Amino acid sequence: MARNSFKYSFSLLHIDYVKLNHNWNFNHVISPYYRLYYIDAGKGEVSDSFGRITLEPGYLYLIPSFTICNLHCDDFLSQYFIQFFEESAEGISLFSLNRNVIKLPANDMDVYLIKRMLDINPGRGINRSDNPKVYEKEAYYKEYKSLNERMKLHQAFENQGILFQLISRFLSDSNFKHKKHQKMPSKILDSMSYIQMHLNQNLTVAGLAKRVNQNQDYFSKQFFTHTGQRPLNYIHHKRIERAQNLIVTTDKTFLEIAIDTGFSNLPHFSKIFKQIVSLTPGEYRREHVLLR
């Protein structure tokens, strides 16, 4: 196994078993954490930019962080769900190039692990509402951090192990068939890592190309070939992802967030934010943060 696989860690937000109905109907859901579902009865639907996927018994579903999707149930759906945050030493998500919903058949071990995790984490459900706009609040993020800090060491290790095993099921090449299979060049990986770790600094395509001793045009073409995005577009998306996380997890002003994510002024930050999220920073905060 590649050594760099263990540059990642995960922390539990919520876990529960719930029975849903037609009220579970939410559009344009985008969260700074992962969602993992196991369906044991009923039927629902989740859609993303790649299309619609049926939620049906016997299957696992993974929705990576910052994946925009719609959730829907016509009649009845019962599911086990786990919501968790990802941390990466290099700031690059395991699914940075795969922001789409992934579906695969569940096996007996998957079901056992999910139920085991639920057993050792009682009281970690949402217990407020099925609506993401209600439960995705700063106060609740602080609550989960407090619970995890008080968690016993053996429990934290077991949670981490279970999440590693469950996530590993989604990392096979067959789950990424819509992506290019060519190996990512080391200079592109290095540039992606550098971008993530220096989002608050002045990043330019010329500067990135110079770092890896490449011609700017060649570097830009290679970056696009292997990531599907131009370097500047990639920088903007990563800055806005970071901004979304700061908006829902901190009390910082928009100007502070703009500076923390490398924007030179608030109007530019607001413009790029609206282009990518389809909401202004203020609208996003009103939808996701508990008003004091």
For residues 61 and 113, give the distance between their C-alpha atoms in angstroms, rounded to a whole number. Answer: 15
Residues 171 and 71 in one domain: yes
pLDDT above 90 covers a percentage of the chain that reads 50
When pLDDT is averaged across residues 234-257 and rounded to a whole number, the result is: 87
Does residue 17 form part of some domain?
Answer: yes
Does residue 131 form part of some domain?
Answer: yes
When pLDDT is averaged across residues 11-28 and rounded to a whole number, the result is: 90
When pLDDT is averaged across residues 52-58 and rounded to a whole number, the result is: 95
When pLDDT is averaged across residues 218-239 and rounded to a whole number, the result is: 91
Give the model's pLDDT for residue 96.
73
Does residue 155 form part of some domain?
Answer: yes
Residues 192 and 88 in one domain: no
When pLDDT is averaged across residues 57-62 and rounded to a whole number, the result is: 97
Q: How confident is the model at residue 1 (pLDDT cuts 50, 70, 90)?
A: very low
| Residues in contact with 7: Cβ distance below 8 Å, sequence separation at least 6, in sequence order | 88, 89, 90
For residues 5 and 84, give the distance between their C-alpha atoms in angstroms, rounded to a whole number. Answer: 18
Residues 49 and 127 in one domain: yes
Give the model's pLDDT for residue 27.
79
Residues 139 and 270 in one domain: no
Tally the domains of the chain. 2
Q: Domain ends where: 176, 205, 240?
A: 176
Q: Domain ends where: 114, 149, 176?
A: 176
Give the model's pLDDT for residue 113.
97
Does residue 261 form part of some domain?
Answer: yes
Alpha helices by DSSP H, the chain: 108-120, 132-135, 138-149, 153-168, 186-197, 205-211, 216-227, 231-249, 254-260, 266-277, 281-288
Residues 65 and 86 in one domain: yes
Residues 139 and 268 in one domain: no
When pLDDT is averaged across residues 272-292 and rounded to a whole number, the result is: 78
- Residue range(s) defining the domain that contains residue 269: 186-288
Residues 133 and 214 in one domain: no
Residues 51 and 168 in one domain: yes
Give the model's pLDDT for residue 133.
55
Q: How high is the mean pLDDT of the chain?
A: 84
Give the model's pLDDT for residue 232.
95
Does residue 181 form part of some domain?
Answer: no
Residues 203 and 163 in one domain: no
pLDDT tens per residue across span 65-102? 878 788 999 999 999 999 998 887 655 678 876 778 99
Give CA 201 to chain center in angstroms: 23
Q: Domain ends where: 148, 176, 204?
A: 176
Query: Among 126-140, 147-161, 206-220, 231-245, which stretch is predicted with the lowest mean pLDDT?
Result: 126-140
CATH of residue 147's domain is 2.60.120.280
| Residues in contact with 99: Cβ distance below 8 Å, sequence separation at least 6, in sequence order | 48, 64, 66, 67, 68
pLDDT tens per residue across span 169-211? 998 755 554 444 456 788 887 888 788 778 889 999 999 999 9
pLDDT tens per residue across span 98-119? 778 999 999 999 999 999 999 9
Which of 229 and 249 is assigned the larger pLDDT?
Answer: 229
The helices-and-strands tally (H runs, E runs) of the chain is 11, 9
Q: How confident is the model at residue 36 (pLDDT cuts 50, 70, 90)?
A: very high
Residues 42 and 157 in one domain: yes
